[in-house]
């Protein structure tokens, strides 16, 4: 039986009790975080998003009061008097600065400090600078609380120095940051998705440390499986590799390492019925272990805990979901922030 967290609709948000607290989202993509805050009872005032396609999705599904389609660098330079007054009275400023240069896949250190296209068609940017552009917005708007999500690779190896610089900047601006490493599989999300969250509170609020500990039972793929994706073509190398799979294999990389003596197709994941699905990434392939088919779009939507009536317009479902924070993951965090911090603060 499908649990409500995986099988919800945008229309359900109308029945969620409101807590009177306000959020603004940066690097919002299609609104994964936004929907999480809404599920927790918050009001979302608007967003900043550079990608026209993502902004179209956000407007279609989130109906923001104050949408800003522009680079974060342009937003932070808007004169204060030209911004809505509500943005200077935020309970939470949310953001997921794109930092693919810290991903544990590829030669990440060689990418640091260089300009890259985050997505084809956009201006080149130094992706490792975007977090500090976001912090400039924090300094500008002075929200009570800041929530910033990012990849696990930020706390591995040399990137730890970058994390130290982020924490130092928070403190210089009058915030006390905490760093959490969370796995969505322990938070009611049918997906192993490890992410780090900087959660910082303004020092003048004199709040104690936030405690986040989630222990929900992991959800197996067979519990949310539905529909069927496109089949593997019988004459392809992918299909021939799939035929050589073994129960211990988690990806096609395991197959090629055993059979061909090299790791390839590392982005092609084997999805087992009795295991928790891997992280939904925008560029990975999910293939069912027990049949030569990709998983379905409805699988991806459920794995990411997106609403079943989300309108993807002409966008690729996996791309949008892979670029987003699972709404139920953010809902859990937002609920704890309200219970431990905001509930006792004057609005």
Q: What are the extents of the domains in the chain? A: 4-217+325-344, 221-319
CA separation for the pair 110, 233 (Å, rounded): 37
pLDDT reported for residue 114: 45
DSSP letters spanning 275-333: S------TT-EEEESSSSBBPPHHHHHHHTT--TT---TTS-HHHHHHTS--HHHHHHH
Q: What percent of the chain has pLDDT over 90?
A: 79
pLDDT reported for residue 123: 45
| Beta strands 66-69 and 43-49, pairing class | parallel
pLDDT reported for residue 112: 40
**b/e map of 76-99 (b: 16 or more CB within 10 Å)?**
beeeeeeeeeebeebbbbbbbbbb
CATH code linked to domain 4-217+325-344: 3.40.50.150
CA separation for the pair 292, 233 (Å, rounded): 9
* Active site residues per annotation: 99
Token pair listed for 345? 């603060």
DSSP 231: B
Nearest to 149 by CA among 107, 111, 204, 187: 187
pLDDT reported for residue 99: 64
Q: What is the pTM for the complete model shown?
A: 0.91
Residues of the chain with pLDDT under 50: 1-2, 101-125
pLDDT reported for residue 43: 98
pLDDT reported for residue 98: 77
pLDDT reported for residue 3: 52
pLDDT reported for residue 27: 95
Nearest to 49 by CA among 65, 31, 26, 32: 26
């Amino acid at each position: 039986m499908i649990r409500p967290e995986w099988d919800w609709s945008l229309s359900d948000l109308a029945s969620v009790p409101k807590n009177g607290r306000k959020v603004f989202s940066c690097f919002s993509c299609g609104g994964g975080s936004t929907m999480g805050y809404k599920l927790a009872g918050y009001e979302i005032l608007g967003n900043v998003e550079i990608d026209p396609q993502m902004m179209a999705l956000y407007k279609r599904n989130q109906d923001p009061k104050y949408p800003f389609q522009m680079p974060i660098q342009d937003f932070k330079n808007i004169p204060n008097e030209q911004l809505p007054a509500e943005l200077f009275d935020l309970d939470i400023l949310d953001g997921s600065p794109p930092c693919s240069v810290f991903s544990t896949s590829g030669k990440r250190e060689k990418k640091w400090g260089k300009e890259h296209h985050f997505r084809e068609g956009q201006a080149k940017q130094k992706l490792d600078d975007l977090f500090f552009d976001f912090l400039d917005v924090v300094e500008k708007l002075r929200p009570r609380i800041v929530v910033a999500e990012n990849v696990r690779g930020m706390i591995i190896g040399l990137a730890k120095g970058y994390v130290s610089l982020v924490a130092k900047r928070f403190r210089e601006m009058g915030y006390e940051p905490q760093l959490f490493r969370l796995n969505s599989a322990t938070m009611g999300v049918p997906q192993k998705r490890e992410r780090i969250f900087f959660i910082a509170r303004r020092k003048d609020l004199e709040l104690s440390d936030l405690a986040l500990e989630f222990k929900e039972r992991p959800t197996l793929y067979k519990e949310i499986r539905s529909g069927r994706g496109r089949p593997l073509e019988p004459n392809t190398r992918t299909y021939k590799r799939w035929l050589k799979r073994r129960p211990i294999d988690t990806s096609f990389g395991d197959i090629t390492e055993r059979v061909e003596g090299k790791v390839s197709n590392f982005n092609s994941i084997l999805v087992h019925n009795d295991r928790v699905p891997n992280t939904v990434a925008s560029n990975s392939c999910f293939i069912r272990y027990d049949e030569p088919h990709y998983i379905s779009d409805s699988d991806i939507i459920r794995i990411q805990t997106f609403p079943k009536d989300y309108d993807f317009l002409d966008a690729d479902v996996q791309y949008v979901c892979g670029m987003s924070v699972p709404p139920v993951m953010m809902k859990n965090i937002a609920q704890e922030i309200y219970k431990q911090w905001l509930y006792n603060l004057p609005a």
